[in-house]
Structure 1
Amino acid sequence: MLDFQYQQQPDACAIQFVDGPAFTFDDLHRQSCYLANGLVAYGLSPGDKVASLLPTGPELCLSWLGIQRAGGVFVPLNTELLDGFLRHALALSEARILICEQKQLDKLQLIAEQLPKLQQVFVVGDYQPHKTSETVHRFDALMSQHQSAALPSQDFQQLACLLFTSGTTGPSKAVMMPHAHCFLYGLGTIENLQLQQGDSYYICMPLNHANGLFMQLYACLILGIKAVIRSKFSASRWLSDIQRYQVTHTNLLGVMSEFILRQPVQQEEQSHALKAIAAAPASAAMIAAFQQRFGVAMYELYGMSEVNIPLYTPMDKPKAGSCGRPYSRYFEVRIACPATDLPCESGEVGEIQVRPKLAAGFMSGYYGMPDKTVEAWRNLWFHTGDLGRCDEDGYFYFVDRLKDSIRRRGENISSYEIETTVLAMEGVTECAAYAVPSDIPDGEDEVMLVVVTDAEIKPEQIHAFCQGKIPGYAMPRFIRLTQASELPTTATNKIQKNVLRQRGVDALTWDSQQF
């Protein structure tokens, strides 16, 4: 993919970072080769896992390309992970090499003894080791290997990436993504959003997610068009970036659309080159608001790390409220009864189930969790855990989630991992973490905790205990103390979170945003 563009248009701009460096296809080819040579020189073998704790930026892009070129498996991690969350991700993935910023080293030192597989760490920036280290090196050491190494050949079925997604009743899972699966994200964008030569893509999502990395950036590299990347989403700069770089396509996720609409109205807001916005979710009201204000069409889609993007809204025949029709060239999608797996009738609500038509066009399982793989992939269909319906014209509609996951700020959050952290606090005997609605229209979730204690503990103490142990995006906003007898449970003593969700936030709930 990159080699082809390098041969066809070496001097064309491949990536332009907003207020940062630009890379031609020649730059990406040459520097990713250096990095691949460096990884091999430091002992990387085909199939070895290489994790990154890097923000969206040049080093993350080069790491991804270099790791793939060297035959390694890319494991992009959220930079906010810490403590047990970080230990779980690094241990489960069996990463041998880690590329990170210097500020991540303190977190690593706390868990290093529990990561026997981790052998080499490369630090981006002006890191100066106090003494010669056999395990911690400057990132520049990888980039200094200009002599070509013997790099392995790869095929579309080989594992390319481990991408972490939320656990629902257990720890976060690592989705095994073959090369074909990753490629189909980009190809789907090209074919369904009608990308063509001369277009450009504005990427304002983190590149440790499939949406930003594969659906957007990979699409640009496949087609050979320019990607304009902002390292962190800014609602106030969204329109000015699009106008400044004259981009033609972009993606939005969750509350990003609402945050943009909340910005003050400016002059000439429809003076831009934007042709289409891909969004998930995108209500009919949101689509209409963007069309009226910015004069640009928004198209809803549906996907997840495990199943790619199997549903796209047809650009020539959009239907309000629908998340699209099947990308039938590569995927089958159906609505089935969650209890029986029998297909539902048109209009009937059931579970969204997906399967690929192309070998390796789908996740190959959850790494190190065969039981979770079997649980999700049964009766020849992948069970998304999402409820939906399909109309007579073949348009699908997302209804709700069956899963017990929480989605906030574009992140899937494991309630299990939050609960495990809180239960480690002395005096806490039981707790439940679950989602409650955001107060932002079309928003995502807020995290709520119900806690049972055998000591005089205040909600603010629980919140303070979570600081430094739970990533910022997963921090509970609401905390309610209760008695064990007041917790709704099943006959097998499992907490009924559906009942807690129905109770919602009441007068006895502590709100961190009010203190």
Structure 2
Amino acid sequence: MYSGISDLRRWSFPAVIEEQAEAQGDRVAVTMTTTGERLTYRELRDDAARVAGMLAAAGAAAGDRIAVMLPNGLDFLRAWAGIARLSATAVILNAELTGSFLAHPLSDAAPSILIVDARYWPRLADLDAATASLRTIFVVGDHVPGTSAFDAWRAAEPSSAPLPRADDIACIMYTSGTTGAPKGVLMPHAHCFLFGLGVVENAGVTADDIYYVCLPLSHANGLLMQIGAVLIAGASAMLRERFSAAGWLPDLIRSGATLTNALGAISAFVQAQPPGERDRDHRLRLLIAAPNLPDHDRCWRERFGIADVLSGYGMTETNIALYGRRGEPRPGTCGGVYPRFEVRIADPETDIPVATGEVGEIMVRPCVPGGFMAGYLNLPGKTVEAWRNLWFHTGDAGRIDADGHVTFVDRIKDCIRRRGENISATDIEAALEDFPGIDQIAAYAVPSDIPGGEDEIMCAIVASAGAAIDTAALAAHAASRMPRFAQPRFIEFMPALPRTATEKVRRADLRKRGVTSATLDLDVRSEKRDT
């Protein structure tokens, strides 16, 4: 176990990696499930130092922003750890982003260096304005003219720069909010560390554990909660490039994994697989699921024989403030308050706490310095608004019971969550509003037809006078401009959108209306349960 847990000044993953490289040496830290490639603790430290050296030779220095757009893999970990070793800031981009969804974080963060997989290179072709800040581009995989090979790190001089401070900004992750484009969350090293520490302390992670990681490393769950917990505990990770429902159980059995995390959609997809004789032939002792619906909890325990299923609640901004307790199953709730945070349920208009059992907004604040985001990049007004009255306003409604367990009720904000992604409704609208024949459009969430499958995306459309909209062409248009998770499944043509007296769209009315007999289903893709 990392020795710096009690010293807040040592809350950074570069410090963890340095210590574990000495303590664990040639013990394997991460193994790829599909290829068998491995990275030991010593190799992770040494590779990170060489990546940092390569970046420094390219002109990068402490505090500079370096964007990373890579799939799950050892190169992702080398890049992330190398940027941190240099005390630079990683701008972590979702590997599925394209079009305006990709242009926004690039132009907003204005990184000086980009590390990108060759498979994603074509997506940058029409983003000249968004990539104007880039001085150097390192490409993983096939050579791209005019760029540098990321593999050059192997011959680089290792960096010996000082390790970052706990309050330095480690990375920027983009998360959707109530309105407008996704916001860049400024995440200090201590904040990133606390994601992993929360898992270690609540799931009881030890060096004997094997963590199966199938969630994207571009999100805090995969990278910071799971890989982070592994590094702090000196455990091992089995990393899959992309989640597969069919491959989930075979991976667990082959790897001997003892821990894993699941989002609502993953729980639904795995449990939809046909029951088999080998459902209990794994070593999984604990699973962290969010949300943890009662039917899912029952299936995890009864069908798969998993002893502990923990709920949780958090955000990129707030860390994970609520966890279930081992040995105390409370399916349907988010768990109790993790003691490194304070949580209250309050009236969203007045911020006055509501009575036990009543519904209000979930508000959070940390008990440790650096254990929270440092703000939104380039958006001081939004930062102050979210932090008003010294509580972070999550925009989610919930209630707390007499035992201190919090139950999520609904979203106050107009943010859609689909396939583990938070998606801004306005981003969807902006990507589709210029399609021929659309006069007005409003995107909103409707319940998935898969229990626990989070949301599906629906768009209400008002057509221009006399226009006939080709829905197949609209679906193709969406596919060409948007990542898969953001493409609407349902549309409904309406004569007008419901609006307030100040002309704001009444999305709550649209959500309440939901799918009707007039709704058209665009999902002709026969989407597999491998997202």
Question: Do the aligned residues in 2 keep the contact of 1:338 with 1:351 (CA within 8 Å)?
Answer: yes
Matched, 1:478 2:478: no
Instruction: Give, in angstroms, the shift of residue 264 of structure 1.
Output: 1.7
Equivalent residue in structure 1 for 2:127, among 104, 107, 111: 111
Matched, 1:171 2:186: no
Instruction: Give, in angstroms, the shift of residue 108 of structure 1.
Output: 1.0
Cα distance per residue 1:47-84 (max 9 Å; x no partner)? 11111111111111111000000111111111221111
Instruction: Give, in angstroms, the shift of residue 299 of structure 1.
Output: 1.1
Question: Do the aligned residues in 1 keep the contact of 2:49 with 2:160 (CA within 8 Å)?
Answer: no
Alignment partners' CA distance in 1, 2:459 and 2:155: 49
Equivalent residue in structure 2 for 1:5, among 7, 12, 20: 20
When structure 1 is superposed on structure 2, of 462-471 and 442-451 the one drifting more is 462-471
Alignment partners' CA distance in 2, 1:426 and 1:458: 9
Matched, 1:190 2:210: no
Alignment partners' CA distance in 2, 1:18 and 1:402: 39
Alignment partners' CA distance in 2, 1:248 and 1:458: 50
| Matched residue type, 1:300 | S
Alignment-derived partner of residue 383 in structure 1: 393
Matched, 1:305 2:316: yes
Q: Runs of 5+ in structure 1 lacking a partner? A: none
Instruction: Give, in angstroms, the shift of residue 240 of structure 1.
Output: 1.5
Alignment partners' CA distance in 2, 1:279 and 1:148: 39
Local SS of the residue matching 1:162: strand
Alignment partners' CA distance in 2, 1:105 and 1:271: 41
Matched, 1:435 2:435: no
Alignment partners' CA distance in 1, 2:493 and 2:418: 23
Alignment-derived partner of residue 29 in structure 2: 14
Local SS of the residue matching 2:72: coil
Cα distance per residue 1:404-463 (max 9 Å; x no partner)? 011111111111111111122243221101111111112211111111222222322322
Instruction: Give, in angstroms, the shift of residue 178 of structure 1.
Output: 0.3
Cα distance per residue 1:355-403 (max 9 Å; x no partner)? 0011110011111111211111110100001111111111111111101
Matched, 1:457 2:472: no
Alignment partners' CA distance in 1, 2:25 and 2:351: 51
Instruction: Give, in angstroms, the shift of residue 327 of structure 1.
Output: 0.7
Local SS of the residue matching 2:224: helix
Equivalent residue in structure 1 for 2:481, among 439, 453, 469: 469
Alignment-derived partner of residue 41 in structure 2: 25
Question: Do the aligned residues in 1 keep the contact of 2:51 with 2:158 (CA within 8 Å)?
Answer: no
Alignment partners' CA distance in 2, 1:187 and 1:128: 39
Alignment-derived partner of residue 244 in structure 1: 254
Equivalent residue in structure 2 for 1:226, among 236, 242, 253: 236
Alignment-derived partner of residue 354 in structure 2: 344
Alignment partners' CA distance in 2, 1:343 and 1:302: 19
Alignment partners' CA distance in 2, 1:168 and 1:462: 25
Alignment partners' CA distance in 2, 1:25 and 1:224: 9
Question: Do the aligned residues in 1 keep the contact of 2:32 with 2:240 (CA within 8 Å)?
Answer: yes
When structure 1 is superposed on structure 2, of 108-117 and 257-266 the one drifting more is 108-117
Alignment partners' CA distance in 2, 1:334 and 1:427: 46
Local SS of the residue matching 1:154: coil
From the superposition, tell whether residues 514 and 69 of structure 1 become closer, same or farther in structure 2 (CA, over 3 Å).
closer
Alignment-derived partner of residue 98 in structure 2: 82
Question: Do the aligned residues in 1 keep the contact of 2:84 with 2:164 (CA within 8 Å)?
Answer: no
Alignment-derived partner of residue 79 in structure 2: 63
Matched, 1:139 2:150: yes
| Matched residue type, 2:50 | Y
Question: Do the aligned residues in 2 keep the contact of 1:164 with 1:174 (CA within 8 Å)?
Answer: yes
The residue correspondences of 1:264-303 to structure 2 (distance < 5 A) are 264-296=274-306, 297-303=308-314
Local SS of the residue matching 2:126: helix
Alignment partners' CA distance in 2, 1:96 and 1:429: 39
Equivalent residue in structure 2 for 1:400, among 407, 410, 429: 410
Question: Do the aligned residues in 2 keep the contact of 1:176 with 1:364 (CA within 8 Å)?
Answer: yes
| Matched residue type, 2:68 | S
Alignment partners' CA distance in 2, 1:309 and 1:159: 18
Alignment partners' CA distance in 2, 1:261 and 1:467: 28
Instruction: Give, in angstroms, the shift of residue 316 of structure 1.
Output: 3.2
Local SS of the residue matching 1:183: helix
Extract structure 1 runs of 4+ deviating beyond 6 A.
Answer: none
Matched, 1:423 2:433: yes
Alignment-derived partner of residue 502 in structure 2: 492
Question: Do the aligned residues in 1 keep the contact of 2:397 with 2:410 (CA within 8 Å)?
Answer: yes
Alignment RMSD: 1.4
Local SS of the residue matching 2:408: strand
Cα distance per residue 1:337-360 (max 9 Å; x no partner)? 111100111111101000001111
Cα distance per residue 1:259-312 (max 9 Å; x no partner)? 111112221422322110001001122111111111112111111101101101
Alignment-derived partner of residue 37 in structure 1: 53
| Matched residue type, 2:33 | V
Local SS of the residue matching 2:30: strand
When structure 1 is superposed on structure 2, of 451-460 and 97-106 the one drifting more is 451-460
Residue identity over aligned pairs, in percent, reads 44
Local SS of the residue matching 2:485: helix
Question: Do the aligned residues in 1 keep the contact of 2:208 with 2:235 (CA within 8 Å)?
Answer: yes
Instruction: Give, in angstroms, the shift of residue 39 of structure 1.
Output: 0.3
Alignment-derived partner of residue 143 in structure 2: 127
From the superposition, tell whether residues 289 and 46 of structure 1 become closer, same or farther in structure 2 (CA, over 3 Å).
same
Alignment partners' CA distance in 2, 1:257 and 1:66: 33
Instruction: Give, in angstroms, the shift of residue 235 of structure 1.
Output: 1.3
Question: Do the aligned residues in 2 keep the contact of 1:46 with 1:152 (CA within 8 Å)?
Answer: no
Alignment-derived partner of residue 336 in structure 2: 325
Alignment partners' CA distance in 1, 2:256 and 2:41: 20
Q: TM-score, normalised by structure 1?
A: 0.96
Local SS of the residue matching 1:127: coil
Alignment partners' CA distance in 1, 2:56 and 2:163: 14
Instruction: Give, in angstroms, the shift of residue 514 of structure 1.
Output: 4.9
Equivalent residue in structure 2 for 1:235, among 217, 228, 245: 245
Question: Do the aligned residues in 2 keep the contact of 1:302 with 1:323 (CA within 8 Å)?
Answer: yes
- Number of matched pairs: 506
When structure 1 is superposed on structure 2, of 91-100 and 463-472 the one drifting more is 463-472
Alignment partners' CA distance in 2, 1:80 and 1:331: 32
When structure 1 is superposed on structure 2, of 297-306 and 35-44 the one drifting more is 297-306
Local SS of the residue matching 1:387: strand
Local SS of the residue matching 1:321: coil
From the superposition, tell whether residues 514 and 472 of structure 1 become closer, same or farther in structure 2 (CA, over 3 Å).
closer
